[in-house]
């Protein structure tokens, strides 16, 4: 499995699809499907039966997965989408950094 450029908690920009131009926080990363669930992006209507959490049942709006290739991490300094690189920091640990500003991504 290839190393992914996006992690849970990252702020990402959607560069393709119906939600192109939106930004949001990554809630989950589905590595086996190469997808991520992003807050407020790719909303779908899910029909649910009544249960203890939702006693009425009905139609619930929720986020669906979006493919990793349609996402880019937002630069922490300059803002906007950026590519991600990996390099060793001063402690010798491999960290991700934004290629646009050179800033390390936490």
Q: Do the Cβ atoms of 74 and 23 come closer than 8 Å?
A: yes
Does residue 2 surpass a pLDDT of 80? no
Residue 58: inside a domain:
yes
Residue 106 covered by a domain: no
pTM: 0.83
Q: State pLDDT tens for residues 7-63.
A: 999 999 999 999 999 999 999 999 999 999 999 999 999 999 999 988 999 999 999
Assigned token pair, 95 = 């960290």
pLDDT of 41 = 95
**Residue 71 falls inside a structural domain:** yes
Angstrom distances, CA of residue 102 to CA of 13, 74, 82, 92: 18, 13, 10, 17
Domain-embedded: residue 88:
no
91 in any annotated domain: no
Q: Is residue 21 one of the residues assigned to a domain?
A: yes
Are 84 and 73 in contact, with CB atoms under 8 Å apart? yes
CATH classification of the domain holding 33 = 2.30.30.30
Residue numbers of the domain that contains 28? 11-75
pLDDT at 1: 60
pLDDT for position 79: 85
Distance CA 62, CA 70 (A): 19
* 61 domain-assigned: yes
Please tell me the predicted confidence (pLDDT) of residue 71. 95
Total domains, the chain: 1
**Residue 62 domain-assigned?**
yes
| pLDDT tens-digit series, residues 78-97 | 889 999 999 999 999 999 99
Q: Which residue has the tokens 């950094």?
A: 97
Between CA 64 and CA 41 the distance in angstroms is 8
d(CA 46, CA 43): 9
């Amino acid at each position: 499995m290839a190393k992914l450029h996006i992690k849970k908690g990252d702020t990402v920009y959607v560069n393709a699809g119906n939600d192109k131009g939106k930004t949001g926080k990554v809630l989950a990363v589905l590595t086996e499907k190469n997808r991520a669930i992003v807050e407020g992006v790719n909303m779908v209507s899910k029909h649910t039966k009544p249960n203890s959490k939702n006693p009425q049942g009905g139609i619930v709006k929720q986020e669906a997965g979006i493919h990793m290739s349609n996402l880019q991490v937002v630069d922490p300094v300059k803002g906007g989408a950026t590519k991600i690189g990996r390099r060793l920091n001063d402690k010798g640990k491999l960290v991700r950094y934004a290629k646009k500003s050179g800033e390390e991504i936490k």
